[in-house]
């Protein structure tokens, strides 16, 4: 993220990722609903102990909206976009449960889409996937929605397939890979 030099040190240290984590904690763990009009007030209330000005908070809210990290549903509540989910994917993965099944992802993304392929590969690694073969990855968490969000966000969804398997002939091999 490019930081605007007009920001003070307090705001430079508090980047988009921190803002998204703050919203994530409030909406997921506290169950608070944040609406479009209350977004500024939410940041103001949560940053009152820091030396952050009204203008700096406005700028952060503007940047988050302008860069399409947040969207709003029919009731004007804040909703994370795929871009935001990829920014804090680790937080979403921690909410998923291990259910005794394996999520397998296979992809064959052409060289012309190298940037999207590399970004997608980084995202699935952050989700906890481990490589079994050249383009076959596995995890023991149910992260299908995040895989789909990553594929759409990086514009490689037509080259990605994911499967959920309860049993395979390589279960022991998969368990060994996931341990390390």
- Please write down the HEC assignment for all residues of 52-63: CCHHHHHHHHHH
**What are the pLDDT tens digits along the chain (180 aa)?**
454 555 544 444 356 777 788 888 888 766 777 887 788 788 777 776 667 777 777 777 778 888 888 887 777 788 888 888 888 888 888 888 888 889 999 999 999 999 999 999 999 999 999 999 888 999 998 898 899 999 999 999 999 999 998 888 888 888 888 887
Q: Please give the helix or strand (H or E) that residue 104 lies within, else none.
A: strand 98-107
- pTM for the model stands at 0.77
62 part of a folded domain: yes
3 part of a folded domain: no
Domain that holds residue 41: 9-80
Contact call for residues 142 and 176 (beta carbons, < 8 A): no
Say what the alpha-carbon torsion angle 83, 100, 176, 149 is, to the nearest 10 degrees. -10
Q: Based on the domain organization, do 162 and 101 belong to the same domain?
A: yes
Query: CA 49 to CA 12: how far, in whole Å?
Result: 16
According to DSSP, the residues that pair with 70 across neighbouring strands are 80
Q: Based on the domain organization, do 66 and 108 belong to the same domain?
A: no
R_g of the chain computed on alpha carbons = 19
86 part of a folded domain: no
């Amino acid at each position: 993220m490019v930081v605007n030099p007009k920001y003070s040190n307090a705001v430079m240290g508090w980047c988009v990722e921190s803002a998204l984590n703050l919203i994530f904690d409030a909406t997921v763990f506290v169950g608070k609903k944040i609406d479009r009009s209350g977004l500024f007030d939410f940041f103001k209330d949560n940053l009152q102990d820091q030396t952050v000005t009204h203008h700096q908070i406005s700028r952060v809210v503007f940047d988050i909206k302008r860069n399409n990290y947040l969207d709003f549903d029919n009731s004007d509540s804040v909703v994370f976009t795929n871009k935001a989910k990829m920014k804090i994917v680790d937080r979403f993965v921690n909410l998923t449960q291990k259910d005794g099944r394996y999520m397998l992802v296979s992809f064959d993304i052409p060289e012309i889409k190298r940037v999207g392929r590399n970004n997608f590969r980084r995202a699935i690694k952050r989700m906890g996937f481990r490589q079994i073969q050249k383009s076959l990855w596995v995890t023991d968490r149910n992260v299908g929605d995040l895989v789909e969000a990553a594929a759409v966000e990086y514009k490689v969804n037509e080259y990605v397939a994911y499967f959920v398997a309860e049993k395979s002939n390589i279960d022991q091999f998969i368990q060994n890979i996931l341990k390390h």
